[in-house]
Amino acid sequence: MRLLQFLCHRLGAIRLVAATSVVAVLFVACGAPGGGGGNMDLPAGAITMPGGTVKIALLLPITASGSTRKIAKGLKQAAELALFDFDNPNIALVPKDTKGTPDGARLAAESAVRDGAELIIGPLFAQEVRGVAQVARSAGIPVIAFSSDQKVAGNGVYLLSFLAGRDVPRIVSFAMSRGKRNFAVLVPQTAYGRIAEAAFAKAVAAGGGRAPVRASFPAGSSSGMAGPVKQIANAIKSGQKVDALFLPADRSELPSLAPLLAASGITSANVQFIGTGQWDFPNVDRQAALVGGWFPAPDPKGWSNFAQSYSKTFDGTPTRIASLGYDAMSLAVSLAENPRGQRYTFSQLTRESGFTGADGLFRLLPDGTSQRGLAVLEVAPGAPRVLSPAPRAFSAPSN
């Protein structure tokens, strides 16, 4: 692994702050007598570059069960990758196991405070964030978490995750720039659907458009989709002017919806389909009716480069949200050169220019949520193509 080779090369300078056996493990992995090399997880202790004085705690459910453990591992390894990519000698990354519970998260946060952490990255779930928040606030330590529940944001807690509805203004603005003014809406009856539809209505109204046709379908029931699809189709066939169909469905819903739409005579060839970031999954083009549809997402080159680097380093494929670990660590490193007490202040964390990570441009907002500079992609055979590139800079403050 590239990261292991890097550690071996710099073993004389790098200190791994954990049990003393960690150094022995590294020597074995680097090919000392009896060492087999090959795949190896990095130790759970702190990874410290020479002279590292800026301690960053990484709180994740490392020992949780099921798929959660894989997600936590991906976030942890991505953060480690960022640390070594930027090679900042002042950073010490200190992983802490939350066990996936509020109490475990609280104890991990207390341990991070005792260790002198200046910033907490993580945890993953909303209930964990609640367990961490009070401890971090009392200690004056900001938290950059990966939860997508906006209710836990604010008052020192920032969410770096892909938040529901935040990508909608991008796709609406692009659609309107291409002359789309009259929209139909077909949304799932879910919390996500409600958030996406509210963001859509606000963006359309702000742009002077209208959405006269609407239907919704029940979650998790392909049999319940036929009626709403027919409702949309009948409205269009009756002469109702519709330039585009807003379809904030996900990878579990689109395979059922797309054929129903096509069978009703509605495809992106005759009514422009527009989606959300939930369309950003492999093989979305397998749904023929969606080919030509538009959706907002990070520039795929950034993810591709990150995934390749991750795979070379750890001999595995990253989970999609692993890039959040890389981005959070990138932010931490970029601010580490400031003097102590001025590194992770409110003004630094929420600077208007933002930061750049694996998924491109992003910034933390004063309310604890985040904003991303997104591209607009078109579903095409083989892989989506970029119709409108992601911005290289934020043009104005976001409220």
With H, G, I as helix, E, B as strand and everything else as coil, classify residue 189: coil
Contact by Cβ (8 Å): 16, 22:
yes
Identify the bridge partners of residue 170 per DSSP, sorted by sequence position.
none
Q: Which residue has the tokens 């705690």?
A: 57
DSSP label of 104: H
**pLDDT confidence of residue 4:** 47
d(CA 227, CA 394): 42
Q: Which residues, in sequence order, are CB contacts of 363 under 8 Å at separation 6+?
A: 350, 351, 352, 353, 354, 355, 370, 371, 394, 398
Q: Are strands 119-121 and 143-145 parallel, antiparallel or unpaired?
A: parallel
Task: Record the tokens describing residue 7, joined without a space.
Answer: 């550690």
**pLDDT confidence of residue 268:** 84
With H, G, I as helix, E, B as strand and everything else as coil, classify residue 345: coil
Q: Which residue has the tokens 């009716």?
A: 289
Domains of the chain with bracketed CATH: 1-43 (no CATH), 56-163+303-372 (3.40.50.2300), 168-275 (3.40.50.2300)
**CA angle, residues 228, 233, 236, in degrees to nearest 5:** 130
**Digit-coded pLDDT (tens) for 344-390:** 999 999 999 999 999 999 999 999 999 999 999 999 999 999 999 99
**pLDDT confidence of residue 397:** 57
pTM above 0.85, yes or no: no
Cα 311 to Cα 301, 318, 367: the distances in Å are 15, 7, 35
Residue ranges of the chain with per-residue pLDDT less than 50: 1-44, 48-51, 399
**Digit-coded pLDDT (tens) for 243-275:** 999 999 999 999 999 999 999 999 888 899 999
d(CA 305, CA 308): 5
> What sign does the CA torsion over 114, 117, 121, 126 have?
positive
